Amino acid sequence: MKLSSISLKLIKAPLKRPFKTHLGTVSDREVIIVEAIDEDGLVGYGEAVPFTSPWYTEETTKTCFHMLDDFLIPLTLASQIGHPDELPNLWSGIRRNAMAKSALEQAILDLYAKQKGVYLGRLFGGERSEVAAGVVIASNDIEDAMRQIEDFSGSGYQRYKIKINPQNDLDFLAEIRRAYPDIPLMADANSAYTLDDIPHLQKLDDFKLMMIEQPLGHDDIVEHSFLQKQLQTPICLDESINSFHDAKSALSLQSCGVINIKMAKVGGWMEAVRIHDLCLGNDVPVWCGGMIEFGISRAHNIALASLKGFTIPGDISSSSRYWDGDIIDPEVIVENGMIQVPDKAGIGFAINEKRLKELTTYSKLYK
């Protein structure tokens, strides 16, 4: 395929409201926009979504920029890529750094799909014309959390995910269930518990949760297998799933009933689709995880969630959930709990160049 230059743009914006978990608070969001450009001036877009500190994964904005700048982009521009499916092999000498790889792979795949004139989701067999939307409540104040659920329910979100920890879980879940006995509800613990908490975690079985996400260690698969046998509520793994191999291990050990696939965290589209196919073949439902992202990453997620195995509403919310002005045009809209899957070439959304420029703090071009 034709690829003539690549550019990186650092962009930054405040969140509408802080995103709070027991691990810390995110108030401002900085990401790296990757543009892959061909000789005809067609542009493919990717978004690298680590945080500015390594609280959720080991990558940060700076490590990601470094990996792209010093390794991934020079290697990619120096080789003649025939087809994007050569990329995992081309980059195999660069260990991990999944988010850096994912963003560059996204940009090249978007460009490839645009050159072919086909919607990116279609390229991977995606068939849905709309995907179900879910939203995350990340607050340390129950009244604030209740207000957010009330506000979001106007858009008809089909799944609410509440961040929990051992201090607030019973109070939060009891309050939500008192007001909303039947909403589709799940909880994300971001590794706030240990196996010593089994009796406590068993109390959560009373709240009719769709699942509990990542209760134990961020790098654990074995202990979750033990815990799952003691809980009625299905476990969903997030942090522990960084590759196809991790997913295979989790399924072999029956460590979870559901997998949250985050394209960025597993290194891109191709690894995400391999995990999807594995889960589909084993009747394990998957959903698409979020990274408090801007519109480019959101657009890639919508395309991914159009694949058959994504049967549970994920963390894909409207652009306005986080932003006063997103970088895509049109913005992502949630209506009656659904998001329309576009059918235009590539990611299917145009870029809001004016907004992108406003948010850009630094850029660099590679030829």
Contacting residues toward Mg ion, per CB under 5 A:
188, 213, 238
Q: Are 335 and 109 in contact (CB under 8 A)?
A: no
Does 251 contact ligand OSB by CB under 6 A?
no
Residues of span 231-250 touching ligand OSB by CB under 6 A? 238
Picked from Mg ion, ligand OSB, none, the partner binding residue 290 (CB below 5 to 8 A depending on kind) is ligand OSB
Residue with the CB atom nearest ligand OSB in the bound state = 290
Q: Name the maximum alpha-carbon separation found in the chain.
A: 62
Binding partner at 136 among ligand OSB, Mg ion, none, C-beta below 5 to 8 Å by kind: ligand OSB
Pick the closest to residue 39 from 115, 101, 90 (CA basis).
115
Name the token pair of 257. 């009933």
The catalytic residue among 9, 20, 262, 265 is 262
**Residue 255 structure tokens:** 């460590």
How many angstroms separate the CA atoms of 348 and 92, rounded? Answer: 29
- What are 74's two structure tokens? 């020079």
Q: State the nearest-atom distance from the C-beta of 209 to Mg ion, in Å.
A: 14
Residue in 61, 76, 139, 190 binding ligand OSB, rule: CB under 6 A: 190
**Structure tokens, 84:** 């994007």
Of the pair 133, 204, the CB lying nearest ligand OSB is at 133
Q: Which residues 6+ apart lie within 8 Å of 340 measured at CB?
A: 129, 130, 333
Angstrom CA distances, 243 to 98, 140, 271, stand at 9, 31, 7
Name the minimum Å distance from CB 24 to Mg ion: 14
Would you say 334 or 347 has its CB closer to ligand OSB? Answer: 334
> What's the min distance (Å) between Cβ of 260 and ligand OSB?
7
In this complex, which beta carbon is closest to ligand OSB, that of residue 279 or of residue 292?
292
Could you confirm whether 308 is annotated as catalytic? Answer: no
β-strand partners of 24: 21
List strands edge to edge, sheet with 235-237: 135-137, 160-163, 185-188, 212-213, 235-237, 258-261, 286-288
Distance between first and last Cα of the chain: 16
> How far apart are CB 239 and ligand OSB at their closest, in Å?
7
Task: Judge whether 192 and 165 are in contact, CB under 8 Å.
Answer: yes
Shortest CB 145 distance to ligand OSB, Å: 14
Alpha-carbon distance of 162 to 170, in angstroms, equals 12
Residue 315 binding partner per list ligand OSB, Mg ion, none, with a CB distance cut-off of 5 to 8 Å that depends on partner kind: ligand OSB
Site string for ligand OSB, 288-327 (x = CB under 6 A): -xxxx----------------------x-x----------
Instruction: Pick the catalytic residue from 9, 20, 163, 265.
Output: 163
| Contact residues for 352 (Cβ-Cβ < 8 A; gap 6+) | 295, 325, 326, 327, 328, 329
Which of positions 125-144 make contact with ligand OSB (CB under 6 A)? 136
- Using the minimum distance from each CB to Mg ion, give the nearer residue, 213 or 220: 213
Signed CA dihedral, 250, 256, 259, 265: sign only: negative
> Does the annotation mark 262 as catalytic?
yes
Of residues 73 and 347, the one with the C-beta less far from ligand OSB: 347
Q: Which of residues 1-30 bind ligand OSB (CB under 6 A)?
A: none
> Which residues are tagged catalytic?
163, 262
Binding residues vs ligand OSB (CB under 6 A):
56, 136, 188, 190, 238, 289-292, 315, 317
